[in-house]
């Protein structure tokens, strides 16, 4: 028998909270007990009392937001799954911070997948706190360009600025990050995930299926290659040439 989880659902609207509670009861047997809070202060009290494994947290709440609640709690020993009806700045901060979110109305399969991802991870309490602290730092930023990406590596969590990435290279199901300080970071996620994550960052282009390049570090274009400032040569795939050149000359 697997681990039985305790969850706190925080939403300023009672009906969505009850619906989510019902979905967990019917479709996610790993969640043993759920508690509902209709405000950040109620949630804080429930968290302190029950020490949940999971916090389902509405981003937009009156008086105190979901982020305000996280700032209120000193020891964040739980995993957060955000729930929101909006695709906006906050969601991008959550994505960059490698945290889960569910869009309302919540889909059962997506809910089950989010809980399964939690069960499959083996993050330490320290890592959970670092993930959330990384998010709160991103939320403070006034522009998306200043968000930091959370990378889960074999050496621990790293928080990097997209502008410090020269290029990324695919290596099977892994991605290698080449940074401005000559540091290399390997992450056990495919390059496609980072292309999707950085799609709103205008400086990143995909000239080849194996590469994602920060155009700020491109020195020149020669025939079928990009020449970077450190003289690394990146092949331009034939089918991506027109798109790549157009992005280099907006």
Taking only the tens place, the pLDDT of each residue in 85-95 is: 877 788 999 99
pLDDT band at 237 (very low <50, low <70, confident <90, very high): very high
Strands 233-235 and 5-10: unpaired
Average pLDDT estimate for 71-83: 95
Report pLDDT for 200.
81
| DSSP assignments along the chain, one per residue | --PPEEEEEE-SSHHHHHHHHHHHHHH-TTEEEEEEESSHHHHHHHHHHH--SEEEEES--SSS-HHHHHHH-S---SEEEEEES--SHHHHHHHHTT-EEEESSPPHHHHHHHHHHHHH----HHHHHHHHHHHHHHHH-SSGGG--EEEEETTEEEEE-GGGEEEEEEETTEEEEEETTS-EEEESS-HHHHHHHTTT-TTEEEEETTEEEEGGGEEEEETTEEEETT--EEEPPGGGHHHHHHHH--
Which structure tokens are listed for 113?
């997948």
Q: Considering the chain, what percentage of its residues have pLDDT values greater than 70?
A: 99
Q: Which residues pair with 82 in a beta bridge?
A: 57, 101
Residue 199 CB coordination number (10 Å): 10
Taking only the tens place, the pLDDT of each residue in 160-209 is: 999 999 999 999 999 999 999 899 999 999 999 999 999 888 899 999 99
- pLDDT over threshold 60, residue 1: no
Average pLDDT estimate for 20-37: 97
Taking only the tens place, the pLDDT of each residue in 7-22 is: 999 999 999 999 999 9
User: First vs last Cα of the chain: how many Å apart?
Assistant: 56
Report pLDDT for 70.
97
pLDDT band at 26 (very low <50, low <70, confident <90, very high): very high
């Amino acid at each position: 028998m697997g681990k039985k989880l305790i969850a706190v659902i925080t939403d300023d609207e009672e009906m969505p909270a009850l619906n989510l509670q019902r979905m967990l009861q019917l479709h996610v047997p790993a969640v043993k007990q759920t508690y509902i809070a209709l405000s950040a202060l109620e949630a804080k009290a429930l968290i302190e009392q029950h020490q949940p494994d999971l916090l389902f947290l509405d981003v937009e709440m009156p008086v105190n937001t979901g982020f305000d609640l996280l700032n209120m709690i000193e020891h964040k020993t739980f995993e957060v799954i955000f729930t929101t009806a909006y695709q906006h700045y906050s969601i991008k901060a959550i994505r960059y911070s490698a945290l889960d979110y569910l869009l309302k109305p919540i889909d059962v399969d997506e809910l089950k997948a989010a809980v399964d991802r939690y069960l499959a991870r083996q993050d330490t309490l320290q890592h959970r706190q670092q993930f959330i602290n990384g998010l709160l730092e991103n939320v403070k930023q006034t522009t998306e360009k200043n968000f930091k990406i959370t990378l889960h590596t074999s050496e621990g969590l790293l928080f990097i600025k997209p502008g410090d990435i020269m290029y990324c290279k695919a290596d099977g199901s892994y991605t290698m990050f080449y940074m401005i300080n000559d540091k290399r970071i390997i992450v056990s996620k495919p390059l496609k995930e980072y292309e999707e994550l950085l799609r709103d960052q205008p400086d990143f282009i995909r000239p080849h299926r194996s590469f994602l390049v920060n155009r700020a570090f491109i020195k020149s274009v020669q025939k079928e290659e990009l020449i970077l400032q450190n003289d690394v040569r990146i092949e331009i795939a034939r089918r991506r040439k027109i798109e790549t050149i157009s992005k280099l000359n907006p």
